[in-house]
């Protein structure tokens, strides 16, 4: 009588390797790195102060996203943060929730106060990106199960 091979389910490490949070972190990190790099190619100004910000010329990445050096620098930091959390699967849930809440704050702050308060050029298209990053981080973070400590 021939025996059939038993189906083996993947262990927790394999199931967690590409969780929703980790996919979000890699996708958002790559997106932010690409847009920030493109932003630095077209605008490297770092206006300091509200008056200098208002008089500085801002440019648009891909013709849509308003940018200046501060915006690009923050994008690179956000990208590195996302990719850093994505390195280890057990960090991804925390990283996605952390980034999600940060972008909730960014979206709210830019909606409440004018851009010259922060010296970061931003427009409505940027706000759509910020809100999408906020919602994406929170949803994928909550969809990703907590890592269980190894015993």
- pTM of the predicted model, to two decimals? 0.80
DSSP state, residue 61: E
pLDDT tens-place values along the chain, 151 residues long = 556 655 555 555 545 579 999 999 999 999 999 999 999 999 888 878 767 766 777 777 888 888 888 889 999 999 999 999 999 889 999 999 999 999 999 999 988 887 667 777 778 888 999 999 999 999 999 999 987 655 5
Among 128, 74, 129, 134, smallest CA distance to 100 is for 134
The Cα-based distances of 81 to 52, 85, 87, 98, 116 in angstroms read: 29, 6, 10, 10, 25
């Amino acid at each position: 009588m021939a025996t059939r091979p038993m189906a083996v389910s993947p262990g927790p490490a394999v199931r967690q390797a590409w969780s929703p949070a980790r996919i979000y972190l890699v996708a958002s990190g790559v997106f932010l790195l690409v847009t920030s790099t493109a932003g630095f190619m077209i605008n490297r100004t770092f206006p300091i102060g509200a008056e200098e910000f208002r008089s500085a010329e801002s440019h648009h990445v891909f013709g849509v996203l308003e940018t200046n050096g501060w915006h690009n620098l923050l994008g690179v930091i956000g990208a590195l943060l996302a990719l850093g959390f994505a390195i280890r699967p057990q960090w991804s849930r925390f990283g996605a929730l952390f980034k999600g809440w940060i972008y909730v704050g960014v979206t709210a702050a830019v909606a409440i106060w004018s851009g010259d308060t922060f010296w970061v050029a931003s427009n409505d298209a940027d706000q759509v990106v910020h809100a999408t990053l906020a919602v994406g981080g929170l949803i994928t973070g909550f969809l990703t199960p907590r890592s269980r400590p190894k015993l």
